[in-house]
Amino acid sequence: MRKPRMEETVVEMKGILKRFPGVLANDHIDFDVKAGEIHALLGENGAGKTTLMNILYGLYKQDEGEICIRGKKVTIKSPKDAIDLGIGMVHQLFKQVPRHTVAANIALASSPDFFFPGSKAKEKILRISEEFGLKVDPDAEVWQLSAAERQKVELLKVLCRGAEILILDEPTSTLTPQGKKGLFSQLKEMKKKGYAIIFITHKLDEVLEISDRCTVLRKGKKVKTTPTSKATKRFLARWMVGREVLFKVKKKTVKKGKIVLEVKKLRVLGDRGETAVKKVSFSIREGEILGIAGIGGSGQGELIEALTGLRKIEEGRLILSGKDMTKASPREFVDAGVAYVPEKRVEVGLVPTMSVKENLILKDYRVPPFSKRVFLNLSAINRSAKEKISRYNVITPSPDTPAGILSGGNIQRLILARETSGEPKLLIVAYPTYGLDVGSVESVRELLLKQRERKSAILLISEDLDEIMTMSDRIAVMYEGKIMGIVNAGEVTREEIGLMMTGTPWREIPNARA
Protein backbone atom coordinates (compact mmCIF):
# COMPACT_ATOMS: atom_id res chain seq x y z
CA MET A 1 0.00 0.00 0.00
CA ARG A 2 1.52 3.31 -1.09
CA LYS A 3 2.12 5.82 1.70
CA PRO A 4 0.10 8.96 0.85
CA ARG A 5 1.75 12.38 0.74
CA MET A 6 0.68 14.96 3.33
CA GLU A 7 -2.50 16.81 2.26
CA GLU A 8 -3.12 14.35 -0.55
CA THR A 9 -6.82 13.46 -0.83
CA VAL A 10 -7.07 9.85 0.32
CA VAL A 11 -10.87 9.51 0.49
CA GLU A 12 -13.30 11.04 -1.96
CA MET A 13 -16.99 10.20 -1.83
CA LYS A 14 -18.94 11.66 -4.77
CA GLY A 15 -22.71 11.98 -5.06
CA ILE A 16 -23.45 9.34 -2.42
CA LEU A 17 -27.14 8.47 -2.31
CA LYS A 18 -28.66 5.92 0.04
CA ARG A 19 -32.34 5.12 0.48
CA PHE A 20 -34.09 3.06 3.12
CA PRO A 21 -37.84 2.35 3.04
CA GLY A 22 -39.49 5.75 3.35
CA VAL A 23 -36.22 7.54 4.13
CA LEU A 24 -33.61 9.27 1.97
CA ALA A 25 -30.64 8.92 4.33
CA ASN A 26 -27.92 10.36 2.07
CA ASP A 27 -28.91 12.74 -0.72
CA HIS A 28 -26.02 13.06 -3.21
CA ILE A 29 -23.37 13.85 -0.60
CA ASP A 30 -19.79 14.81 -1.51
CA PHE A 31 -17.17 14.25 1.18
CA ASP A 32 -13.38 14.03 1.17
CA VAL A 33 -10.51 13.56 3.63
CA LYS A 34 -6.82 14.36 3.23
CA ALA A 35 -3.71 12.69 4.62
CA GLY A 36 -2.51 14.48 7.75
CA GLU A 37 -5.99 15.88 8.47
CA ILE A 38 -8.63 15.52 11.16
CA HIS A 39 -12.00 16.08 9.48
CA ALA A 40 -15.01 16.42 11.82
CA LEU A 41 -18.41 15.14 10.64
CA LEU A 42 -21.41 16.80 12.30
CA GLY A 43 -25.17 16.56 12.09
CA GLU A 44 -28.36 16.06 14.04
CA ASN A 45 -29.59 12.58 14.92
CA GLY A 46 -30.78 11.14 11.63
CA ALA A 47 -28.80 13.62 9.52
CA GLY A 48 -27.08 10.78 7.64
CA LYS A 49 -23.52 10.92 8.97
CA THR A 50 -23.48 7.37 10.39
CA THR A 51 -24.99 6.01 7.17
CA LEU A 52 -22.29 7.79 5.16
CA MET A 53 -19.50 6.32 7.29
CA ASN A 54 -21.11 2.86 7.24
CA ILE A 55 -20.95 3.07 3.46
CA LEU A 56 -17.25 3.98 3.59
CA TYR A 57 -16.60 1.08 5.98
CA GLY A 58 -18.55 -1.41 3.88
CA LEU A 59 -21.49 -1.99 6.21
CA TYR A 60 -23.89 -0.49 3.62
CA LYS A 61 -23.69 -0.20 -0.17
CA GLN A 62 -24.60 3.14 -1.70
CA ASP A 63 -27.47 3.25 -4.24
CA GLU A 64 -25.71 5.91 -6.31
CA GLY A 65 -22.34 7.64 -6.29
CA GLU A 66 -18.75 6.49 -6.17
CA ILE A 67 -15.84 6.20 -3.76
CA CYS A 68 -12.20 6.85 -4.59
CA ILE A 69 -9.39 5.79 -2.26
CA ARG A 70 -6.01 7.42 -2.98
CA GLY A 71 -7.30 8.56 -6.36
CA LYS A 72 -8.55 5.14 -7.47
CA LYS A 73 -12.23 4.27 -7.83
CA VAL A 74 -13.12 1.33 -5.57
CA THR A 75 -16.05 -0.89 -4.68
CA ILE A 76 -16.43 -1.56 -0.96
CA LYS A 77 -18.77 -4.49 -0.39
CA SER A 78 -17.80 -5.37 3.19
CA PRO A 79 -15.70 -4.24 6.17
CA LYS A 80 -13.01 -6.65 4.93
CA ASP A 81 -12.79 -4.67 1.69
CA ALA A 82 -12.48 -1.48 3.73
CA ILE A 83 -9.77 -2.96 5.95
CA ASP A 84 -7.83 -4.15 2.89
CA LEU A 85 -7.96 -0.54 1.62
CA GLY A 86 -6.49 0.74 4.90
CA ILE A 87 -9.74 1.95 6.46
CA GLY A 88 -10.37 1.32 10.16
CA MET A 89 -13.40 2.21 12.29
CA VAL A 90 -13.51 2.72 16.06
CA HIS A 91 -17.14 2.25 17.07
CA GLN A 92 -18.86 4.19 19.81
CA LEU A 93 -19.51 0.95 21.70
CA PHE A 94 -16.24 -0.95 22.08
CA LYS A 95 -16.05 -4.28 20.25
CA GLN A 96 -14.07 -6.19 22.87
CA VAL A 97 -14.06 -9.50 24.75
CA PRO A 98 -13.77 -8.39 28.40
CA ARG A 99 -12.27 -11.64 29.73
CA HIS A 100 -9.58 -11.78 27.02
CA THR A 101 -6.27 -9.99 27.29
CA VAL A 102 -5.43 -6.87 25.31
CA ALA A 103 -3.12 -8.94 23.09
CA ALA A 104 -5.84 -11.54 22.45
CA ASN A 105 -8.41 -8.89 21.56
CA ILE A 106 -6.04 -7.23 19.11
CA ALA A 107 -4.94 -10.58 17.67
CA LEU A 108 -8.55 -11.62 17.04
CA ALA A 109 -9.16 -8.35 15.18
CA SER A 110 -5.87 -8.39 13.27
CA SER A 111 -5.39 -11.93 12.05
CA PRO A 112 -7.18 -13.54 9.10
CA ASP A 113 -6.79 -16.82 10.96
CA PHE A 114 -8.40 -17.62 14.28
CA PHE A 115 -5.08 -18.57 15.85
CA PHE A 116 -2.50 -15.81 15.99
CA PRO A 117 0.97 -16.15 17.55
CA GLY A 118 0.79 -14.38 20.90
CA SER A 119 4.43 -13.31 20.95
CA LYS A 120 4.14 -11.65 17.53
CA ALA A 121 0.97 -9.87 18.62
CA LYS A 122 2.66 -8.53 21.76
CA GLU A 123 5.72 -7.44 19.81
CA LYS A 124 3.60 -5.52 17.31
CA ILE A 125 1.41 -4.00 20.03
CA LEU A 126 4.42 -2.75 21.99
CA ARG A 127 6.04 -1.27 18.89
CA ILE A 128 2.91 0.59 17.75
CA SER A 129 1.89 1.65 21.25
CA GLU A 130 5.35 3.15 21.77
CA GLU A 131 5.22 4.96 18.42
CA PHE A 132 1.87 6.64 19.14
CA GLY A 133 1.95 6.96 22.92
CA LEU A 134 -0.80 4.35 23.35
CA LYS A 135 0.79 2.52 26.24
CA VAL A 136 -1.28 -0.34 27.61
CA ASP A 137 -0.33 -3.69 29.15
CA PRO A 138 -0.77 -6.41 26.48
CA ASP A 139 -1.27 -9.05 29.21
CA ALA A 140 -4.01 -7.15 31.07
CA GLU A 141 -7.55 -8.47 30.70
CA VAL A 142 -9.84 -5.90 29.11
CA TRP A 143 -12.32 -5.86 31.99
CA GLN A 144 -9.54 -4.55 34.24
CA LEU A 145 -8.93 -1.46 32.10
CA SER A 146 -10.26 2.07 32.44
CA ALA A 147 -12.38 3.61 29.67
CA ALA A 148 -9.36 5.56 28.40
CA GLU A 149 -7.27 2.38 28.25
CA ARG A 150 -10.04 0.51 26.41
CA GLN A 151 -10.15 3.38 23.92
CA LYS A 152 -6.42 2.84 23.34
CA VAL A 153 -7.09 -0.85 22.68
CA GLU A 154 -9.59 0.09 19.95
CA LEU A 155 -7.07 2.42 18.32
CA LEU A 156 -4.36 -0.24 18.53
CA LYS A 157 -6.68 -2.74 16.85
CA VAL A 158 -7.10 -0.59 13.74
CA LEU A 159 -3.44 0.48 13.68
CA CYS A 160 -2.24 -3.13 13.95
CA ARG A 161 -4.40 -3.93 10.91
CA GLY A 162 -2.46 -1.29 8.99
CA ALA A 163 -5.24 1.30 8.77
CA GLU A 164 -4.19 4.77 7.63
CA ILE A 165 -7.74 6.13 7.34
CA LEU A 166 -9.49 6.16 10.73
CA ILE A 167 -13.20 6.68 11.42
CA LEU A 168 -13.84 7.56 15.08
CA ASP A 169 -17.48 7.51 16.21
CA GLU A 170 -18.08 9.66 19.33
CA PRO A 171 -14.65 8.67 20.73
CA THR A 172 -14.78 10.83 23.89
CA SER A 173 -18.19 9.74 25.18
CA THR A 174 -16.76 7.64 28.05
CA LEU A 175 -13.60 9.63 28.83
CA THR A 176 -12.66 11.92 31.71
CA PRO A 177 -11.16 15.34 30.87
CA GLN A 178 -7.71 13.82 31.38
CA GLY A 179 -8.61 10.87 29.15
CA LYS A 180 -9.88 13.19 26.41
CA LYS A 181 -6.70 15.26 26.60
CA GLY A 182 -4.65 12.09 26.18
CA LEU A 183 -6.73 10.93 23.20
CA PHE A 184 -6.40 14.29 21.46
CA SER A 185 -2.64 14.19 21.98
CA GLN A 186 -2.54 10.75 20.35
CA LEU A 187 -4.70 11.86 17.42
CA LYS A 188 -2.46 14.86 16.81
CA GLU A 189 0.55 12.52 16.73
CA MET A 190 -1.21 10.34 14.13
CA LYS A 191 -2.05 13.42 12.11
CA LYS A 192 1.64 14.41 12.05
CA LYS A 193 2.47 10.98 10.62
CA GLY A 194 0.02 11.45 7.75
CA TYR A 195 -3.01 9.55 8.99
CA ALA A 196 -6.41 10.72 7.75
CA ILE A 197 -8.92 10.90 10.62
CA ILE A 198 -12.71 11.28 10.41
CA PHE A 199 -14.04 12.46 13.77
CA ILE A 200 -17.79 12.03 14.39
CA THR A 201 -19.04 13.97 17.41
CA HIS A 202 -21.98 15.95 18.82
CA LYS A 203 -19.65 18.10 20.93
CA LEU A 204 -18.95 21.35 19.13
CA ASP A 205 -16.16 22.39 21.48
CA GLU A 206 -14.28 19.25 20.46
CA VAL A 207 -14.72 20.08 16.78
CA LEU A 208 -13.17 23.49 17.30
CA GLU A 209 -10.35 22.04 19.39
CA ILE A 210 -9.23 19.03 17.36
CA SER A 211 -10.32 19.28 13.70
CA ASP A 212 -8.81 20.95 10.63
CA ARG A 213 -12.01 20.91 8.57
CA CYS A 214 -15.60 20.10 9.36
CA THR A 215 -18.56 18.97 7.30
CA VAL A 216 -22.13 19.49 8.46
CA LEU A 217 -25.05 17.31 7.32
CA ARG A 218 -28.74 18.10 7.80
CA LYS A 219 -31.65 15.86 6.81
CA GLY A 220 -29.46 13.74 4.56
CA LYS A 221 -27.85 16.62 2.68
CA LYS A 222 -24.48 18.30 3.00
CA VAL A 223 -24.93 21.86 4.27
CA LYS A 224 -21.35 23.01 4.53
CA THR A 225 -17.68 22.01 4.48
CA THR A 226 -15.36 24.62 5.94
CA PRO A 227 -11.93 25.00 7.52
CA THR A 228 -12.50 24.84 11.26
CA SER A 229 -10.49 28.03 11.69
CA LYS A 230 -13.31 29.87 9.91
CA ALA A 231 -16.11 28.28 11.97
CA THR A 232 -17.67 29.22 15.30
CA LYS A 233 -19.76 27.19 17.70
CA ARG A 234 -22.78 29.35 16.90
CA PHE A 235 -22.46 28.89 13.13
CA LEU A 236 -21.89 25.12 13.43
CA ALA A 237 -25.02 24.74 15.54
CA ARG A 238 -27.09 26.84 13.14
CA TRP A 239 -25.90 24.82 10.15
CA MET A 240 -26.75 21.59 12.02
CA VAL A 241 -30.30 22.42 13.12
CA GLY A 242 -31.29 25.25 10.77
CA ARG A 243 -31.92 27.80 13.53
CA GLU A 244 -30.16 29.67 16.32
CA VAL A 245 -29.26 27.53 19.35
CA LEU A 246 -28.78 28.96 22.85
CA PHE A 247 -25.71 27.46 24.50
CA LYS A 248 -25.92 29.27 27.81
CA VAL A 249 -28.19 27.52 30.27
CA LYS A 250 -30.63 30.05 31.75
CA LYS A 251 -30.80 28.60 35.25
CA LYS A 252 -33.05 30.71 37.44
CA THR A 253 -32.46 31.12 41.15
CA VAL A 254 -34.77 28.69 42.92
CA LYS A 255 -35.18 28.69 46.68
CA LYS A 256 -34.46 25.21 47.97
CA GLY A 257 -37.25 23.60 49.96
CA LYS A 258 -37.39 20.67 52.33
CA ILE A 259 -35.39 17.48 51.91
CA VAL A 260 -37.10 15.08 49.49
CA LEU A 261 -34.57 12.23 49.34
CA GLU A 262 -32.16 11.02 52.02
CA VAL A 263 -29.72 8.23 51.20
CA LYS A 264 -27.91 6.88 54.27
CA LYS A 265 -24.86 4.59 53.97
CA LEU A 266 -26.36 2.62 51.10
CA ARG A 267 -24.70 -0.67 50.12
CA VAL A 268 -25.87 -2.38 46.93
CA LEU A 269 -24.58 -5.47 45.11
CA GLY A 270 -23.87 -5.71 41.39
CA ASP A 271 -24.95 -8.46 39.03
CA ARG A 272 -21.92 -10.63 39.88
CA GLY A 273 -22.42 -10.35 43.62
CA GLU A 274 -19.73 -7.71 44.10
CA THR A 275 -20.37 -4.58 46.15
CA ALA A 276 -21.20 -1.96 43.50
CA VAL A 277 -22.39 0.85 45.83
CA LYS A 278 -20.28 1.28 48.97
CA LYS A 279 -21.78 3.16 51.94
CA VAL A 280 -23.10 6.05 49.81
CA SER A 281 -24.85 8.95 51.55
CA PHE A 282 -26.41 12.16 50.20
CA SER A 283 -29.64 14.17 50.19
CA ILE A 284 -31.58 16.28 47.68
CA ARG A 285 -33.98 19.16 48.40
CA GLU A 286 -36.98 20.55 46.55
CA GLY A 287 -35.89 22.72 43.62
CA GLU A 288 -32.37 21.28 43.57
CA ILE A 289 -30.42 19.35 40.95
CA LEU A 290 -27.77 17.04 42.38
CA GLY A 291 -25.48 15.91 39.59
CA ILE A 292 -23.57 12.64 39.85
CA ALA A 293 -20.44 12.51 37.72
CA GLY A 294 -18.23 9.49 37.16
CA ILE A 295 -16.78 7.15 34.60
CA GLY A 296 -19.30 4.58 33.39
CA GLY A 297 -19.41 1.51 35.62
CA SER A 298 -18.59 3.36 38.85
CA GLY A 299 -21.81 2.22 40.52
CA GLN A 300 -24.21 4.79 39.08
CA GLY A 301 -26.44 2.18 37.43
CA GLU A 302 -26.80 0.07 40.57
CA LEU A 303 -27.46 3.20 42.65
CA ILE A 304 -30.26 4.32 40.33
CA GLU A 305 -31.88 0.88 40.41
CA ALA A 306 -31.78 0.91 44.21
CA LEU A 307 -33.43 4.34 44.29
CA THR A 308 -36.30 3.13 42.09
CA GLY A 309 -36.94 -0.25 43.73
CA LEU A 310 -35.39 -2.23 40.89
CA ARG A 311 -32.45 -3.54 42.93
CA LYS A 312 -32.29 -4.79 46.52
CA ILE A 313 -30.63 -2.60 49.15
CA GLU A 314 -28.27 -4.73 51.28
CA GLU A 315 -27.49 -2.12 53.94
CA GLY A 316 -28.45 1.46 54.73
CA ARG A 317 -31.70 3.40 54.46
CA LEU A 318 -33.58 5.28 51.78
CA ILE A 319 -35.97 7.97 53.02
CA LEU A 320 -38.41 9.70 50.62
CA SER A 321 -40.32 12.70 51.99
CA GLY A 322 -39.92 11.34 55.50
CA LYS A 323 -41.06 7.79 54.61
CA ASP A 324 -38.73 4.79 54.76
CA MET A 325 -38.65 3.28 51.26
CA THR A 326 -35.69 0.93 51.79
CA LYS A 327 -37.70 -2.18 50.97
CA ALA A 328 -40.31 -0.61 48.67
CA SER A 329 -41.31 -2.08 45.30
CA PRO A 330 -41.04 -0.21 41.97
CA ARG A 331 -44.82 0.39 42.03
CA GLU A 332 -44.57 1.89 45.52
CA PHE A 333 -41.84 4.26 44.31
CA VAL A 334 -44.07 5.35 41.41
CA ASP A 335 -47.03 5.89 43.74
CA ALA A 336 -44.78 7.90 46.09
CA GLY A 337 -43.96 10.37 43.31
CA VAL A 338 -40.67 9.06 41.91
CA ALA A 339 -40.17 9.51 38.15
CA TYR A 340 -37.36 7.81 36.25
CA VAL A 341 -35.81 8.61 32.86
CA PRO A 342 -33.45 5.66 32.23
CA GLU A 343 -30.20 5.49 30.32
CA LYS A 344 -31.54 2.70 28.08
CA ARG A 345 -34.38 4.59 26.46
CA VAL A 346 -35.72 1.91 24.13
CA GLU A 347 -34.94 -1.17 26.25
CA VAL A 348 -36.18 0.23 29.58
CA GLY A 349 -37.87 3.59 28.97
CA LEU A 350 -40.65 2.49 26.64
CA VAL A 351 -42.25 -0.40 24.78
CA PRO A 352 -41.13 0.22 21.18
CA THR A 353 -43.91 -1.78 19.53
CA MET A 354 -46.63 0.08 21.43
CA SER A 355 -47.97 3.40 20.19
CA VAL A 356 -46.88 6.82 21.40
CA LYS A 357 -50.18 7.32 23.24
CA GLU A 358 -49.92 3.91 24.93
CA ASN A 359 -46.38 4.66 26.12
CA LEU A 360 -47.57 7.95 27.57
CA ILE A 361 -49.93 6.14 30.00
CA LEU A 362 -47.69 3.21 31.00
CA LYS A 363 -47.61 4.48 34.60
CA ASP A 364 -51.16 5.83 34.83
CA TYR A 365 -53.35 3.39 32.93
CA ARG A 366 -54.84 2.12 36.24
CA VAL A 367 -56.15 5.47 37.44
CA PRO A 368 -58.74 8.04 36.30
CA PRO A 369 -59.23 9.60 33.84
CA PHE A 370 -57.55 6.81 31.83
CA SER A 371 -59.26 3.92 33.60
CA LYS A 372 -62.96 3.16 33.95
CA ARG A 373 -62.53 0.30 36.39
CA VAL A 374 -62.25 -2.61 33.93
CA PHE A 375 -61.94 -0.67 30.67
CA LEU A 376 -59.66 2.08 29.40
CA ASN A 377 -61.09 5.52 28.65
CA LEU A 378 -59.85 5.82 25.07
CA SER A 379 -61.14 9.35 24.50
CA ALA A 380 -59.27 10.60 27.61
CA ILE A 381 -56.11 8.78 26.50
CA ASN A 382 -56.28 10.39 23.04
CA ARG A 383 -56.88 13.88 24.46
CA SER A 384 -54.03 13.55 26.92
CA ALA A 385 -51.64 12.20 24.27
CA LYS A 386 -52.35 15.07 21.87
CA GLU A 387 -51.85 17.62 24.66
CA LYS A 388 -48.51 16.11 25.76
CA ILE A 389 -47.25 15.69 22.20
CA SER A 390 -47.92 19.39 21.62
CA ARG A 391 -46.59 20.65 24.97
CA TYR A 392 -43.38 18.61 24.86
CA ASN A 393 -42.85 19.04 21.08
CA VAL A 394 -42.72 15.29 20.38
CA ILE A 395 -42.44 15.03 16.61
CA THR A 396 -44.48 12.01 15.53
CA PRO A 397 -46.75 11.28 12.55
CA SER A 398 -49.60 10.55 14.98
CA PRO A 399 -50.32 9.38 18.54
CA ASP A 400 -50.85 5.89 17.07
CA THR A 401 -47.31 5.67 15.64
CA PRO A 402 -45.13 2.92 17.21
CA ALA A 403 -42.82 4.71 19.66
CA GLY A 404 -39.79 2.70 18.59
CA ILE A 405 -39.55 4.36 15.17
CA LEU A 406 -39.13 7.89 16.58
CA SER A 407 -35.73 9.61 16.55
CA GLY A 408 -33.57 9.57 19.68
CA GLY A 409 -34.48 13.12 20.63
CA ASN A 410 -38.21 12.49 20.24
CA ILE A 411 -38.02 9.26 22.23
CA GLN A 412 -36.37 11.21 25.04
CA ARG A 413 -39.03 13.93 24.90
CA LEU A 414 -41.73 11.24 24.94
CA ILE A 415 -40.26 9.67 28.09
CA LEU A 416 -39.86 13.08 29.74
CA ALA A 417 -43.47 13.93 28.85
CA ARG A 418 -44.69 10.81 30.62
CA GLU A 419 -42.40 11.13 33.64
CA THR A 420 -42.74 14.86 34.35
CA SER A 421 -46.38 15.57 33.50
CA GLY A 422 -47.47 14.23 36.89
CA GLU A 423 -45.30 16.76 38.81
CA PRO A 424 -43.04 14.19 40.50
CA LYS A 425 -41.46 14.80 43.91
CA LEU A 426 -38.22 13.15 42.79
CA LEU A 427 -37.03 12.96 39.18
CA ILE A 428 -34.12 10.59 38.47
CA VAL A 429 -32.58 11.23 35.05
CA ALA A 430 -29.76 9.11 33.64
CA TYR A 431 -27.62 10.42 30.76
CA PRO A 432 -30.49 12.59 29.44
CA THR A 433 -28.69 14.07 26.43
CA TYR A 434 -26.32 11.22 25.55
CA GLY A 435 -26.09 10.84 21.77
CA LEU A 436 -28.49 13.71 21.05
CA ASP A 437 -27.81 16.60 18.67
CA VAL A 438 -27.48 20.19 19.87
CA GLY A 439 -31.14 21.04 19.20
CA SER A 440 -32.43 18.07 21.17
CA VAL A 441 -29.91 18.73 23.96
CA GLU A 442 -31.22 22.28 24.32
CA SER A 443 -34.83 21.06 24.47
CA VAL A 444 -34.18 18.35 27.07
CA ARG A 445 -32.18 20.67 29.35
CA GLU A 446 -34.94 23.28 29.22
CA LEU A 447 -37.46 20.65 30.33
CA LEU A 448 -35.30 19.66 33.29
CA LEU A 449 -34.80 23.25 34.42
CA LYS A 450 -38.55 23.90 34.23
CA GLN A 451 -39.07 20.86 36.44
CA ARG A 452 -36.54 22.29 38.91
CA GLU A 453 -38.55 25.54 38.98
CA ARG A 454 -41.64 23.47 39.83
CA LYS A 455 -39.79 22.32 42.97
CA SER A 456 -39.03 18.75 41.95
CA ALA A 457 -35.86 17.28 43.47
CA ILE A 458 -33.71 16.06 40.57
CA LEU A 459 -30.93 13.49 40.55
CA LEU A 460 -28.95 13.95 37.31
CA ILE A 461 -26.48 11.24 36.26
CA SER A 462 -24.23 12.14 33.35
CA GLU A 463 -20.71 11.61 31.98
CA ASP A 464 -20.88 14.98 30.20
CA LEU A 465 -19.01 17.32 32.55
CA ASP A 466 -20.29 20.44 30.80
CA GLU A 467 -23.82 19.22 31.47
CA ILE A 468 -23.09 18.33 35.08
CA MET A 469 -21.40 21.66 35.80
CA THR A 470 -23.98 23.90 34.11
CA MET A 471 -27.16 22.08 35.18
CA SER A 472 -26.36 21.05 38.76
CA ASP A 473 -26.62 22.98 42.01
CA ARG A 474 -24.33 20.47 43.72
CA ILE A 475 -22.11 17.75 42.27
CA ALA A 476 -21.26 14.32 43.69
CA VAL A 477 -18.51 12.29 42.05
CA MET A 478 -18.53 8.46 42.12
CA TYR A 479 -15.53 6.20 41.71
CA GLU A 480 -15.65 2.42 42.18
CA GLY A 481 -18.90 2.62 44.12
CA LYS A 482 -17.82 5.38 46.51
CA ILE A 483 -18.51 9.11 46.56
CA MET A 484 -15.24 11.02 46.35
CA GLY A 485 -16.85 14.30 47.37
CA ILE A 486 -19.98 16.47 47.14
CA VAL A 487 -19.34 20.11 46.21
CA ASN A 488 -21.24 23.20 45.09
CA ALA A 489 -21.23 23.43 41.29
CA GLY A 490 -19.73 26.91 41.22
CA GLU A 491 -16.83 25.97 43.49
CA VAL A 492 -15.14 23.22 41.50
CA THR A 493 -13.14 23.03 38.26
CA ARG A 494 -13.27 20.45 35.49
CA GLU A 495 -9.79 19.29 36.44
CA GLU A 496 -10.80 18.76 40.06
CA ILE A 497 -13.85 16.74 39.01
CA GLY A 498 -11.60 14.74 36.66
CA LEU A 499 -9.26 13.92 39.56
CA MET A 500 -12.19 12.71 41.67
CA MET A 501 -13.46 10.63 38.72
CA THR A 502 -10.13 8.78 38.77
CA GLY A 503 -10.19 8.10 42.53
CA THR A 504 -8.81 11.16 44.35
CA PRO A 505 -11.05 12.19 47.27
CA TRP A 506 -12.04 15.87 47.34
CA ARG A 507 -10.23 16.46 50.63
CA GLU A 508 -6.92 15.28 49.09
CA ILE A 509 -7.01 17.61 46.07
CA PRO A 510 -4.52 20.48 46.47
CA ASN A 511 -6.21 23.83 47.18
CA ALA A 512 -9.63 22.14 47.41
CA ARG A 513 -12.10 24.16 49.39
CA ALA A 514 -13.48 22.51 52.49
Sheet with 338-341, side-by-side order of all strands = 338-341, 426-430, 457-461, 289-293, 474-479, 482-488
Asked whether the predicted pLDDT for residue 1 surpasses 80, the reply is no
pLDDT the model gives residue 113: 47
pLDDT the model gives residue 4: 60
Residue 222 CA to residue 203 CA, distance in Å, equals 19
167-193 burial: b if 16+ Cβ within 10 Å, else e: bbbbbbbbbbbebbbbbbebbeebbee
Q: Angle CA(505)–CA(102)–CA(114) in degrees, nearest 5?
A: 160
pLDDT the model gives residue 41: 94
pLDDT the model gives residue 142: 85
Give residue-wise pLDDT tens across range 236-253. Answer: 888 887 776 655 677 888
Q: Angle CA(295)–CA(296)–CA(299) in degrees, nearest 5?
A: 95
CATH entry, 275-508, from 3.40.50.970, 2.60.40.1930, 3.40.50.300, 3.30.310.50:
3.40.50.300
Helices (H) and strands (E) in the chain, counts: 16, 22
Give residue-wise pLDDT tens across range 92-114. Answer: 667 788 888 888 888 877 655 44
Asked whether the predicted pLDDT for residue 61 surpasses 90, the reply is yes
pTM, entire model: 0.66
Give residue-wise pLDDT tens across range 318-375. Answer: 999 999 999 999 999 999 999 999 888 888 889 989 999 999 988 887 777 778 777 8
Q: Which fold has domain 9-241?
A: Rossmann fold (3.40.50)
Pairing state between β 72-74 and 64-69: antiparallel
Average confidence score pLDDT of the chain: 86
Same fold, 9-241 and 275-508: yes
The pLDDT confidence band at residue 183, using thresholds 50, 70 and 90, is confident
Give residue-wise pLDDT tens across range 309-321. Answer: 999 999 999 999 9
Residue 504 CA to residue 510 CA, distance in Å, equals 10
Give residue-wise pLDDT tens across range 158-182. Answer: 888 888 999 998 787 666 667 778 8
pLDDT the model gives residue 115: 47
Bond from prior residue into 79 cis (ω within 30 degrees of 0): no
pLDDT the model gives residue 238: 82
**Listed residue (2, 3, 53, 6) closest to 191, CA to CA:** 6
Domains of the chain, by residue range, sit at: 9-241, 275-508
